[in-house]
Structures are given as C-alpha cells and as structure tokens.
Amino acid sequence: MLQKKLHIPINLPLTLNDDIEVDETITNLIKSIQSCNKIGAKSTFKLYEDFFSKKTSKYIKNNLNFFLKKIIPIIFLSKHTNEGLYQLLRLIDNIVFNFSYIDTLKTNMFIYENLSKVLSFSGHITNVVSKDVKLLEILQPDYGFRLNGNKTFYKNSFEKIDTSNSNEEVLLDTLRRTHRILKFQILFAIINNDIDVKRAATEFSLLAEATIDFSLKVINKKNLIEHNIVCKDFSIIAYGRFGTNSMTANSDVDLVFVYGGKFKKNIYISIFKQLIKILSTKTTEGYIYEVDTKLKPSGKFGPVACTYESFKKYHEIESFAWEKIALKKARVINDGTFSKKVRNLLDKLIALPISDSDITEEIHKMRINKNEGESISNDFKKNSSPNWFETKYVGGGQRDLEFLMYFYRNETDLIPRYEIDKNKLFCKKMENVFFKTDQIVNICFFDKKQSHLPNDAVNTLIKEVNVKDLGSLKSLINQGKIEIFKLLNQILESKLIK
C-alpha cells in the first residue's frame, strides 16, 4: 500500500494553526513532538513506531525501528529536541519506501550525530538530504572538510561526469546529482561551524561558476560534433549576488549574454539557450538554478542575448540610472579574449556618471502608490513584511539600502555634510546584517516562508551578527529597515522639492 505523503509545514509550527490541514492522528503526533521533553525518548520512539507500523513492510519496519531507537536518544541531547524530532518525521516520510536509504541508515550508525545536527537546523536541509542517499557520506565523521575557497575543487568533481553519454536526460540528471552533493557540503559546513556565512557565500558562487564552466564545455563539445565549430567570442556577465560573489543557498543566477560577430547570430543564441536549458530545466532530479536574463538591454521579452555594440550603446546612452547602479555589481564569469574585451568595457561603463535627478525620479516611481497618490514618506507599512527576517522586497530592505548606499558613496549634495560619515557606517552595518540574514533564511526555506525561523538557525544568525539574543536581533533588523526607509525618503523628497 502506497503511503500518502504528509502535507505539513517545512519547519515545526509554533501552533497548529499554521496552515496545517491534517487528520487527528498527525495533529496528535505533532502535539506530542511539541511537548516531547515531557514524555521522554522511549515514549517518543513508541509514537514513531506506531505511526509508521501500518505504512511499511516488515523488512522496512525492522530497519526503520532500529534507526529510530538509535537516533531519537541522540536528538534528545540537542538543545531543540522538538525541532529535530519534527524533521525526523519529515525525513522518514520522504524516504520510508526507499529501501537503499533505510538500509544505509541502519548500517551507518556513526553518521547519526551529524544527521541530528542537520535535522535540528531546518526543514529545507532535511529535504535536501532526503533526496539522495549519497549525501549521507558527507555526514561521516572521517569524511573531512574539503572546501578550499577555490573553483578547482568543484571543477574537478564535474570533470568526473561522463559526457560521452548521448542520452541528454541522463547527463542532466547526473549533473544535478553532482551539484547537489557539492552544495550539500557547503550547507553542512555551515551547520557544523566549519565555515561562516560569508565564506559560504563565496563557496556558493564558486560552485555556480564551476557549474556554468562545465555546462559550456558540454555545449562546446556538442557544437564541435554536430556543427564542427568552436565558438569562443561570447561573454557571460553575472549580476546581483552572483556578480558580487555573495550567493545564498537558493540564489538564482542573473545573467546577460554578449556576443561578437564571428558566427551567425543563431549560433550564439543556440549556445545561450542550451546553457539556460542545462541549468534550469526541471528533470526527475530537479533543476540547478533559475536563470534570470531580464537585465539584458532588450528586457524581459526581447532576444536572449545582445551584440557587444548593442550592449555598449545601451549602457552609454539608453539605460536607466538603476541599471547603471546594477552594473556596478556585475562581472564577467567566463574567460577568453572576447571576455577580456567585455571586462574592459564594463570598467568604462561603471565609471560613467549617474544623474542624481534620474535615480531619484526612478526610485520615486518605484515606490509611490500611483493609485492613491500618497507621499512616499507615509508608505513604510505598505512596503513592510510581517516577517522580521524578510529583508529583500520590503520597505527599508536590501533594494532601498543599495540606493541609499549609492547616494552616500557619491556624497551627493542631497545629503547634509555632517551626516555622511555616520550614515555610511550605519549602511555598511545593515548591509552586513541583511546579507547574513538572507543567507540563513535561504537555508531554512525554499519558497514559501513561515513566520519564524528554527531555533538553531536563529542562534547561528545571532552569533554571526554578534547580538545578545533574538529580541536584540529583531530590533536591530526592524529598526534598521525603518531608518533606511526614512533616510532614503529624506533624500528623495529633498530632491523632489528642489
């Protein structure tokens, strides 16, 4: 009999009103998990044994019970037992009919302590570890820390993939599994305190570069076989977090493709479309990255790439001020003579002046409520989020901070002289806080966010940001967003009044 999957929140809910629509049995089980310290490890094991006994065969049941008897006491040694037990429930629900996975769990007791750390941290990482039994190898105590801050580590792993297989789906799935293993090493290194979130951001970015390098190798090999061409006069520009080597666990890749004139246009377009397909097509093993190309000169709906001349002309004459600011965080990620030419162009474009009037007007249009015509200074609540840890698309969040930092870096006449140094330090501090918060949030959730973070994730963030407790952390972020929103509004309104 096939088991019906549990549809419960990704992390342990604070109450059972958090969008949970489950039957009474599951509700009672979650209630018991929430108060697990009152019933102890033995009674908790009995709960799990009874819950899964009617859903599994005798063979799976025996191996599963062996695993449960060993890991539940270990989870009870953690600071946040209830969260670890909740993720244990979700893990088993994901792998209960995976014979190989259950067997590996039974025969590798030495990974239980590290697996307990994973389960206690977040539901998103629990989801990741449940997808592939090979990830359990990374939890072995003798596996060793292998991240070295160098792209070569990731490239060497990809080079082991057999690209001679003519079955495209097999190749894509193999690439996705390899990428998942490498990504999980970074995730576990954060959980295990081997690296901090800043180092993790660098590793995520190096992994993305290596993935694109390998994908281009696959594409070039195919083009050589099918069309007898080797195309190198194109460049890939990374924007945003990828551009600044500050990617998170769930970052997409913002790319702009620029090409030369050695071949016909369709050759270049084909290469870029193949790259997007390799990275973002969803197979049975999922996808690697979402690819966002909307920052190209033609916007969302135009051609996927542009010529060198078009890119140059657009940013010299036609681009919006906010695009010029975005360009300051861009970099070329592939090598070659043509890419060197594009790098030199980027340096020149980044140095071009940006009009205070233009950027002020553009931000104003982004933020004002056009329907009601309200003043932007009264708009904070409408741009805020109920989640204290949401820092991206909110009033006073990352976008507002980026604009504010632009004004302070350029020491615009719109800012009183006596405020510049003090507010520069404030902006730098909040940039660091938002960056670290974003990193931790993206280890906890994949898409839909709950109203709270798991306790181990919160404690990691408290340590990273260097504050006393959760209350101090919330206050720092919330007050920071309010202040950023206010300071940016003062600049915008002072310019509009003038």
pLDDT at residue 318, rounded to an integer: 93
Residue 56: predicted pLDDT? 82
Which pair of structure tokens corresponds to residue 476?
A: 């720092």
Tell whether the model's pLDDT for residue 291 goes beyond 80. yes
**pLDDT tens-digit readout, 19-70:** 566 678 888 889 899 988 889 999 999 999 999 887 788 888 999 999 999 9
**Distances from the Cα of 217 to the Cαs of 230, 274, 278, 344, in angstroms?**
11, 11, 12, 25
* CB contact set of 75 (below 8 Å; sequence gap of 6+): 81, 84, 85, 88, 116, 119, 120
How does pLDDT run across 346-364, given as a tens digit for each residue?
A: 999 999 999 888 999 898 8
d(CA 451, CA 9): 11
DSSP string, 131-171: T-GGGGGGGSTTS-----S-HHHHHHHHHTS-TT---HHHH
Q: SS3 of 255, please?
A: strand
End-to-end CA distance of the chain: 73
Query: What are the strands, taking DSSP E only, across 408-486?
Result: none
Helix spans in 285-393 (H) = 308-313, 321-327, 337-350, 356-367, 380-383
Mean pLDDT of 221-231: 87
Which residue in 84, 20, 23 sits closest to 51, CA to CA?
23
Give the pLDDT confidence of 403-430 residue by residue, as tens digits.
999 988 886 666 767 778 888 999 999 9
**Strand partners for 286:** 283
Mean pLDDT of the chain: 90
Residue 438: how many other CB atoms lie within 10 Å:
23
Q: SS3 for 487? A: helix
Q: Read off the amino acid at residue 89.
A: L
Mean pLDDT, residues 285-307? 90
Q: What is the CA radius of gyration of the chain?
A: 25
pLDDT at 447 over 70: yes
Q: What is the pLDDT of residue 408?
A: 86
Q: Residue type for 109, please?
A: M
173 vs 286: CA distance, rounded Å: 8
Q: Would you give the DSSP letter of residue 4?
A: P
| High-pLDDT (> 70) share of the chain, % | 92
pTM: predicted TM-score of the whole model, two decimal places:
0.93
Dump pLDDT digits (tens) for 162-195: 988 778 899 999 999 999 999 999 999 999 999 9
The torsion angles phi and psi of 263, rounded to 5 degrees, stand at: -115, 175
